[in-house]
Amino acid sequence: MDNSSTRDRIRALVRDVLDKAGATEESGGGVQGTSTSTPSRFVDIAPKGSTSTDPNVTRDESSKMVITEDDVRGLETGAVLRIAEGARLTPLAADIVNEKKIEILRRVPRHGSKASRMIAVGSDHGGFKMKEELKGLLAEAGHRVHDFGTNSEDAVDYPDFAHAVARAVADGTVDVGIVIDGAGVGSAITANKVPGVRAAACYSVSVARNSREHNDANVLTLGSKTITSREMREIVEAWLGTDISEDRHRKRVAKIEAIERQYQR
C-alpha cells in the first residue's frame, strides 16, 4: 500500500474519532484528568456576525467543524486562520499549524462562549482548598479540568504550578487557565513570563470582566487570602462569561503581543 493510501485511511479514521468525541462532549462532560484536545493555539476573538473580510485573517474555515491538513496546507508561516468555535484540528493539521506557527482565531458569541472548555487549574498550598472548590464549580458548569496540582496543603512553591498552567495555555493544550495562591500576584507575575500568556490577578467581578473584554486575559489568578468562596465563584463566572468583543480592544492587545515579540529574538 502506498503512502497516499495509508494517509487517506488515517485521515478517515481521525475524522471518525473526532466526530464521535465531539458527540460525546456535547452530551455532557465532567472533570477529566487530561486533555484530549489537539495541541494548537486558540484565541477567542470576534463575535458571531462579524464579517470574514477581517484584514488580519489569512483564511476563513469557520464553516467547518473538522479542520484537516488540506485546510491548512499552503498557508505561509505566521498566517492567521479563522475557525468555528467548536471546530477541531486533525493531528496532521495540528502538525502543520505548530510547524508554521499559524495563529488560529476562534469565533465566539459576544456575551461569552457557552461551550465546554478545557481549563487548566493550579495552586500552591495556600490555594489548595479553594482550588478544590473551583474544580467542582467548573464541573457543574460543564467544563473539563486539567489539575496541575498541588494536591495537599503541604508547603510548595507557587511558581512551579503557575508555570505549569501557563505553559498549557500557551501551547494550546487547554483553552484558559486559573491559578490560586495566597494573594494571586506571584502567580500572575510567573505566568506572564511565558510567551503568549496574558495573566490577570482579579479581586472583583468588574476587574475580571475588564481583563477579558479589554485585555483578552487567558489566565486568571486569584488570592485565597483576599477573597471569599462566594467572591471566587462570582469572579470565575464573570471571567469565563466575558470575551473581548471590540476592535479597539483587539488592536491594543495586538500591541501587547508586538511588544512581547521584541523580547523573544
All structural domains of the chain: 34-108 (no CATH), 118-240 (3.40.1400.10)
Do the Cβ atoms of 69 and 127 come closer than 8 Å? no
pLDDT at 39: 36
User: Strand runs (DSSP E) across 58-162, as ranges?
Assistant: 59-61, 66-67, 80-83, 88-89, 103-106, 118-123, 144-147
Cell of 31: 472533570
Cα-Cα-Cα-Cα torsion 72, 75, 76, 77, nearest 10 degrees, comes to: -20
pLDDT at 60: 82
Low-confidence ranges of the chain (pLDDT < 70): 1-55, 63, 65, 85-86, 107-115, 265
Q: What is the DSSP letter of 146?
A: E
Do the Cβ atoms of 239 and 220 come closer than 8 Å? yes
How much of the chain, in percent, has pLDDT values that exceed 90? 47
CA triple 53-59-61, angle to 5 deg:
100
pLDDT at 187: 98
Among residues 128, 78, 122, 84, the alpha carbon closest in space to that of 99 is found at 78
Q: Produce one character per residue of 56-94: b if its CB has 16 or more CB atoms within 10 Å, e if not.
A: ebbbbbbeeebbbbebbeebeeebbbbbbbebbbbebbb
Rounded to a whole number of angstroms, the distance between the first and last alpha carbons of the chain is 45
Q: Which residues are catalytic?
A: 214
Do the Cβ atoms of 156 and 124 come closer than 8 Å? yes
pLDDT at 51: 37
pLDDT at 222: 98
The CA distance from 131 to 173, in Å, is 20
One-letter amino acid of 190? T
pLDDT at 245: 78
pLDDT at 165: 97
Give me the half-sphere count of Cα atoms (radius 13 Å) on the Cβ side of residue 20.
6
One-letter amino acid of 56? N
pLDDT at 63: 67
Which residue is it, cell 498549557? 168
pLDDT at 186: 97
Among residues 217, 200, 215, 196, the alpha carbon closest in space to that of 103 is found at 196
Q: What's the pTM value of the predicted model, to 2 decimals? A: 0.60
CA distances from 250 to 46, 147, 210, 219 (A): 9, 30, 13, 17
